[in-house]
A and B are shown apart, each in its own frame.
Chain A
Amino acid sequence: MKHTISVLVENHAGVLSRVSGLFSRRGFNIDSLAVGETNDPTLSRITIVADGDEHTAQQLEKQLNKLVDTVKVRTFSPDELLTRELQLIKVSAAPNQRSEIMTICEIMNAKIIDMTTNTLTVEICDSPVHLHRMHDLLEGYGIKEIVRTGVIAIQKGSATIK
């Protein structure tokens, strides 16, 4: 089962390595990790998507809480969250395929940001499910390269992590 964990940490040197080191050390598998400064510049927010059973998720949360730099840890179920990931996808596109791909991009709410005689580079920012579908749609043309930011997540409604 996939778990999305939001961690508020002190925004100073060494914190990210402490957090990422914890995962390998304790044998937890992570799908993605995204980090950035928050509205309070002394804090960073890390969003982690990890795979594992309920026991693993609980342990993960406890071990993260144990880190001295951790301010707050929250594990969310998917229906509590709005999730987004930004991806840049370079796809093979012969001149006669361009318009098809452009239509896909339009429908999928993606943007073409670069073009050569035989490639298109697509920018898409959406939920993981939607991105997965986009991969399926583009696969047939030949995906040459994908760069992704990792999933970030925020609670639905007015609730915040404080």
Chain B
Amino acid sequence: MDRRQFLQNTSAAIAAASATNVFAQADGSESPPPVNQLDNKQKPTIVSVYLRGGADSLSFLVPKGDDAYYSYRRGTAIPKGDCIDFHKSPYFGLNPNMASLAPLMEEGRVIPIVNSGSTHGTRSHFDAQDYMERAAPGLKSVRQGWLNRYLYMSKKPYDAPLRGIAVRRTLPRALRGRYPVLAGYNSTDHMDMFEALYAETNMVNKTAREGGSIVKGASLDAIEGQDRIKGMERDKALRTSDMARDIITESGTAAVKRLKALQEALSGQRNNVNYPRGGLGGQLAQIAKVIKANVGLEVAQADYGGWDTHSGQGGVNGRMGRSVKHVADSLRAFHDDLGDRMDRVLVLVMSEFGRTVHENGNNGTDHGHGGIIWAMGGMMKPAPMYGKWTGMATEKLKYRRFMPVHTDFRVVFAESLYYLMGFDAFKVDYFPGYRPSKGQLLNFLNKVET
């Protein structure tokens, strides 16, 4: 290889390397700024709202101007006359149960991302939710949730205790993983005793450190005379078991710290509006309080199930209608409760897949493919909608039965993480083996100052 050839090869390599940052190309900025330094300001927050069971997107945003829609559906259709205006479109209308959100759509603060979803064709709830919440379609080896992965990859030595929360008792998959996240209702009536039991003094290293030596386990002098270990020889006392207990204790200490931080955050705050009772409303009300407390909350997830409407789905009235209303009213309450803070809060409402465009024989719909991700926040670039709508003609459907997916949910996740958190998912290989082309990006957000 001569010198010229070498230079050519090298510059090609450099060009390839610099082309790896999709976002840097998109908006000219460079590496993301550091995140989550503790400073008592409201951190940008991503709130994921997961509608479990496969929500029928066509019952939210109704293609009322498409005759095909009414030919596929009868009992589950939203009649044209019942629809409320969506940006004065003759083609789209809104389910009247979404009346509370309609004004926010006009202002560009609530926007649907149509025909979005997974690139994987699975129609199993379990797999589809897994793939979506871990942002790794088809990859079972990825076990960390997308929100947890973000927390883990951006962790700092002195993290705030409440960077991530779920209000439910067990963590949803999106928040599971190696970064410790609090599931809110894991409490006990005897917190004081738990706290005493898991106090740092249970740690041998801690005791040793206080005795002036930092070398773990080599601090026999430090504990000598404390008569702490009755009936046992001192040299036996310092050993692996202490290490295991130390780590368990540390975890308990962390739990106490997070629970207390949560209790404190909640106690000083109140909701300024009334939320719909139960379900999603209750969860969003809690999350709003934590955001108001300025304790550094970055990601949260609320879960709301009951969308697997194989039968008895109904139209404007009925099961689906009630669920749609609950979601819309809960989101509106959250939006109004947070007021100006919504400039730094992005809510993403998603489900594992949409449903068949055809109604089945039981006044219901079956598992489909493409759906809608609804985005709500003050940092969005106003538009009636994002994504690509290709109509409802049979030949435009996937397998002639499902709405197609034109926007990979990973694009939505990646842009959210980047424009809110300054976290460049592509630079760090956050999505294994995946990189969208520039043309696939939505560019639906303005950058939030972190």
- Is the pairing of A and B real? no
